[in-house]
Chains A and B, each alone.
Chain A
Amino acid sequence: MKETVKPSDMAKPSECLCHIEPGDLSPLPPPYEDFNEKAIPPLNPEKVKHIETSLDDTVAIGIPKPANREEEEELVRRFLSGLKKLFEKENNWTFLQPLLLSMEHCTKCQTCSDACPVYEMSGKKDIHRPMFRAEVLRRIYNKYLKPGGKITAKLTGDIDLNWTTIARLAELSYRCTLCRRCATVCPIGVDNGLINHEIRKLFSQEVGISPKELHEKGTVQHLRVGSSTGMNPLAAKDSVDFIQEEMEEITGWKVDIPWDVEGADILLLHNAGEMLAWPENVGAFAIIFQAAGLSWTLSSETVGYDAVNYGLWYDDVQFSRVAVRHAEIARRLKVKKIVMGECGHAHKALTVIADRLLTGDLNIPRESAMVTLEKIVLGGKLKFDPRRNDFPVTLHDPCNFVRAMGIVEPQRRILRKIAPRFREMTPHGVDNYCCGGGSGFAIMSPYNFEAWRNLVSSRKKFLQILNAFQGEPAEIPKYVCAPCSNCKGAIRDIINFYHAEERSRIYYGGLVELIVNAMADMKKPLIQFGDDPSWKA
């Protein structure tokens, strides 16, 4: 029988509040049944003996255990002080109205639970209900910050507040990918994803607790060195030089990537991770823009060559700093618009969220690359031979520019033109499922977190991919088009983890690679399936 975990249990002593047994996870179809009995590998006791691990089978942050009673009490004090600030306009004008609405009107109908891929795939573990962490926060707020709360808590829902409650809540805020699918189905409009975002923010902005990958190695490194990858401007330029050479060698096309062109029409912002992990993406963009005769540039200024903004996931202040830097760089270059490359969260960060942060001449128009590319591909200037993409293709919808921005059709119109065997996932578009790597998960791999991601949060996406290619022979290569760096990272990891390349010949990549692969002028294919070229030259 399933063990029930209630919000009030968050305060109670237990070695592991939620454990996933082998067989609990949603089953996978053949030939992946051998993964159905897999459990999350246990944490190494030596490595975790000084950190909080009592929530579940994994660790995302690694909060040090308190040395004494004073440290315990200090965390509780800081947490409550931060919680109060979430409801003050001076501190939280950014999200105050949505937060208040969602905190005050949930009817606990659980409609959100069935929409959440993490909850479903985890074997419906209570702590993964979207409203679970929201309810924990709501109870703490009602009891400890509202007048008379300690009395009314007996009637409205009680919870004790101690170091354990808080440390578990911090960890739990990193079990949700912020895909906000839950918010789309709520009959009232309550957004539990937002409440989760606010919990992360409270911990970062008041308590100084956040995952290293997002903060120290993320936004801090981005602002100091120039990129969350650790690349400084010189290294970025070297990478791009290498990409130019590589692209010419692979495709026979001479690529010239422009840097710091003042007055160019477009400043193209790439996720710098592309330069290191998927250089062909950067190269393919260059080929298309060059062939279309666009006036464009990259920026070599610190921060300007990396579109990411991890602040979006955990810290409004860091978010604002990165967004302002991006806008300042575009202003200095006097470009007409910024085009966001294949990076979902960068799209949402700079185009939508920062829209109410950037004023005056910092408010430079921003456009999705999906739209720019559609204009090029459907514009008729470039010639395509769709037969070159004669393999099954499916499209992953990045939550951040599909559900959160309404950029849904441009990428589909492109695919319908250049990929004759394109098919949709079910569901797709604004109803899509997250890749499982959202909100920073794709770049987080402390302890055994990567295994948790592959087994739990990315599992639904893996099932969707398998379903999209159902009926296709195993030996035929198949392409998952994921026009977002983080999603691509998560999909790469599930393909490797489940041996999907060996068992089903599933490959992945971006949209621009498919476009270049189908260009009639191209002498050699860009896309390779293992050692096999996707078409014969």
Chain B
Amino acid sequence: MGFYLLSYLCILVFFLAAGCHVYRQWTLPMHVRWELYPVQHEVSEKLAHGGSYMENWNWWEKEQRSSFLNELKYMVPEILFIRGLWKENRKLWWVSFPFHFGLYLMIATFGLLVLHAFSVLPGGAPPAEGALRTLLSGMIVLTGWVGLILGVTGSAGMFFRRLIDPELRDYSSFVDYFNIVFIFLFFLFAFLACLLTDPLLEGAKAYTFGLLTGGDSLNAYTPAQTFLGGGTIVFASLLVAYVPLTHMSHMFMKYFFYHNVKWDDAPNRRGGPVEAAVLKNLALKPTWKAKHVEADGRKSWQEIASSAPKEMK
């Protein structure tokens, strides 16, 4: 039961930490526009050259068009295949892609394990047909094995790249190495556990079933019975909790980088929601100390912006 408690606790930490990150982003004041082109939700005729709606004569008189499809065309290969790195830093991509794709496949495997567990839950949804369950089992083996192989090679590659490349080494701290070693150990334990004791991931199925049922075992074998299986559970659980506490949270925070900064081209229209947010910001009272700012904590941004500086410095 100790393993399950650890896993529950770590999953809770993940949701709390990730929730805090997301909540903070949602509640930050609207910032000034700082987009960078190409903005990928632009319509194709603009996107082809990185242009914007501001290329149109009297653009404010026209309806602003955008394309979700264009955004997807960019985002899907970017998320799955890290296209940006392929284009800009190929030597790092060769280790970064297997590392990240290995992690994605681990997440996919976990999703499939959960589906599988639902399919065999007593009293839950009607038991899935045997063929579907077989299909799920097959996919679990496929995504699991491919993910583990990619993950082990990718994380080892990332570690060595950081260690041997002076460009990376000179800027790496203990934590940067620790993060990679942590992930590598998870992949290594899981890989060896599968290789030596559980090639069909039956233990993973059993443990996931146990996660949903508060510890009931699906079959006689559970991974916690072996050193490698137990290690896998511990590393996987801790990793789930650890990721959102570090810069590795870019995994999901990237959404805000793109949608709230790089592609945030929403114009301010009179009476619109942007204007309402701006008015709220202008009422804030800064306390910057340089004399020319003339902030005293009582004057608002609006008052300061409407004044001329009396002091030079």
Chain B CB within 10 A, most for which of A110, A363, A404:
A363
- Smallest CB–CB gap between A207 and chain B, Å? 7
Query: How many of chain A's residues have a CB under 8 angstroms from any CB in B?
Result: 94
Stretch at the interface among B141-149, B186-194, B227-235, B251-259: B251-259
Which of B49, B52, B290 interacts with A429 by CB under 8 Å? B49
Contact A101 B253 (CB under 8 A): yes
Contact B292 A156 (CB under 8 A): no
In the complex, whether A274 has a CB less than 8 A from a CB of chain B is no
Q: Which residues of B contact A374 (CB under 8 A)?
A: 57
Considering only CB atoms, which chain A residue lies closest to B270 in the complex?
A363
In the complex, whether A109 has a CB less than 8 A from a CB of chain B is yes
A 316-340 binary contact with B (CB < 8 Å = 1; else 0) = 0110110110000000000001000
Which of A97, A105, A115, A360 interacts with B270 by CB under 8 Å? A360
In the complex, whether B94 has a CB less than 8 A from a CB of chain A is no
Contact B282 A367 (CB under 8 A): no
Contact A206 B33 (CB under 8 A): no
Q: Which residues of A contact B96 (CB under 8 A)?
A: 109
- Smallest CB–CB gap between B233 and chain A, Å? 26
In the complex, whether A155 has a CB less than 8 A from a CB of chain B is yes
In the complex, whether A216 has a CB less than 8 A from a CB of chain B is yes
A355–B265 Cα distance when bound, in Å, is: 10
In the complex, whether B80 has a CB less than 8 A from a CB of chain A is no
- Smallest CB–CB gap between A373 and chain B, Å? 10
Q: Which residues of A contact B3 (CB under 8 A)?
A: none
Q: Is the interface of A mostly helix, strand, loop or mixed?
A: helix
Contact A365 B84 (CB under 8 A): no
Contact A98 B51 (CB under 8 A): no
Q: Which of B32-82 contact A (CB under 8 A)?
A: 32-39, 42, 46, 49-60, 82
Which of B256, B282, B284 interacts with A97 by CB under 8 Å? B256
A113–B165 Cα distance when bound, in Å, is: 14
Considering only CB atoms, which chain A residue lies closest to B33 in the complex?
A352
A111-B289 contact in complex given A95-B31, A430-B38, C-beta closer than 8 Å: no
Contact B38 A406 (CB under 8 A): yes
B 177-212 binary contact with A (CB < 8 Å = 1; else 0) = 010000000000000000000000000000000000
Contact B288 A106 (CB under 8 A): no
- Smallest CB–CB gap between A63 and chain B, Å? 13
In the complex, whether A94 has a CB less than 8 A from a CB of chain B is yes
- Smallest CB–CB gap between B22 and chain A, Å? 12
Stretch at the interface among A177-185, A232-240, A448-456, A490-498: A177-185
A189-B254 contact in complex given A85-B287, A98-B261, A406-B46, C-beta closer than 8 Å: yes
Contact B173 A189 (CB under 8 A): no
A360–B170 Cα distance when bound, in Å, is: 51
Q: Which of A62-117 contact B (CB under 8 A)?
A: 78, 81-82, 85, 89-91, 93-98, 100-101, 104-111, 113-115
Q: Which residues of B contact A115 (CB under 8 A)?
A: 88
Considering only CB atoms, which chain A residue lies closest to B279 in the complex?
A359
Q: Which of B77-125 contact A (CB under 8 A)?
A: 82, 84-85, 87-89, 92, 96
A4–B171 Cα distance when bound, in Å, is: 11
Q: Which residues of B contact A187 (CB under 8 A)?
A: 82, 84-85, 88-89
Using a CB–CB cutoff of 8 Å, the interface residues on chain A facing chain B are 4, 6-7, 78, 81-82, 85, 89-91, 93-98, 100-101, 104-111, 113-115, 126, 131, 135, 154-157, 180, 183-191, 194, 204-208, 215-216, 220, 223-224, 317-318, 320-321, 323-324, 337, 351-360, 363, 365, 367-368, 370-372, 374-375, 402-410, 429-430
4 closest pairs, A vs B, by CB? A406-B52, A189-B257, A430-B50, A320-B305
